[in-house]
């Protein structure tokens, strides 16, 4: 992925209509919801498999890492949103279908970032 700085100026100037904001918010929330569900499932699996007390603190560490990773990844500021959506496309959390309704320039910015 190119550094955010490479896109920062055009992204900051990008205009979002209320309808485009709604599409972006829905896609963002969809991906976040899926990711959180996956973490809930895996946390339950990990807890069931605990046999040694030391594995408790591994679960704690794993949860802390997941929380920090999710906080870092899901940044809804419009100035970085196309980069965030691109990373969600790239890792399969979203499809292009989920982004239908975004403006042409927004989709272009997302695709460009997803390819880089």
Sequence-ordered alpha helix ranges (H) in 50-76:
53-73
Binding piece for a copy of itself, criterion CB under 8 A, among 3-11, 13-21, 31-39, 85-93: 31-39
Residue 100 near residue 23 (C-beta atoms within 8 A): yes
Q: How far is CA 87 from the centre of its chain?
A: 6
Bridge partners of residue 100, in order along the sequence: 102
Decide whether 3 or 51 has the Cβ nearer to a copy of itself: 51
Q: Taking each helix axis from N to C terminus, what angle separates 4-13 and 81-90, rounded to the nearest 10 degrees? A: 130
Binding residue for a copy of itself, selected from 12, 21, 44, 115, defined by CB under 8 A: 44
Residue 107 near residue 94 (C-beta atoms within 8 A): no
43 touches a copy of itself (CB under 8 A): yes
Site string for a copy of itself, 45-64 (x = CB under 8 A): -xxx-x--x--xx-xx--xx
Looking up tokens 């896609």 gives: 27
Beta carbon of residue 41, minimum distance to a copy of itself (angstroms, whole number): 10
Residues at the site binding a copy of itself, with contacts judged by CB under 8 A: 36-37, 39-40, 43-44, 46-48, 50, 53, 56-57, 59-60, 63-64, 66-67
């Amino acid at each position: 992925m190119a550094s955010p700085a490479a896109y920062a100026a055009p992204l900051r100037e990008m205009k979002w209509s209320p309808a485009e904001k709604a599409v972006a918010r829905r896609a963002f929330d969809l991906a976040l919801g899926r990711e959180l569900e996956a973490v809930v499932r895996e946390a339950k699996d990990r807890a069931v498999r605990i046999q040694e007390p030391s594995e408790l603190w591994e679960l704690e560490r794993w949860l802390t890492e997941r929380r920090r990773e999710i906080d870092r990844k899901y940044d809804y500021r419009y100035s970085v949103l196309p980069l965030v959506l691109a990373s969600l496309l790239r890792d399969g959390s979203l499809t292009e279908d989920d982004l239908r309704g975004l403006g042409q320039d927004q989709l272009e910015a997302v695709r460009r970032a997803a390819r880089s």
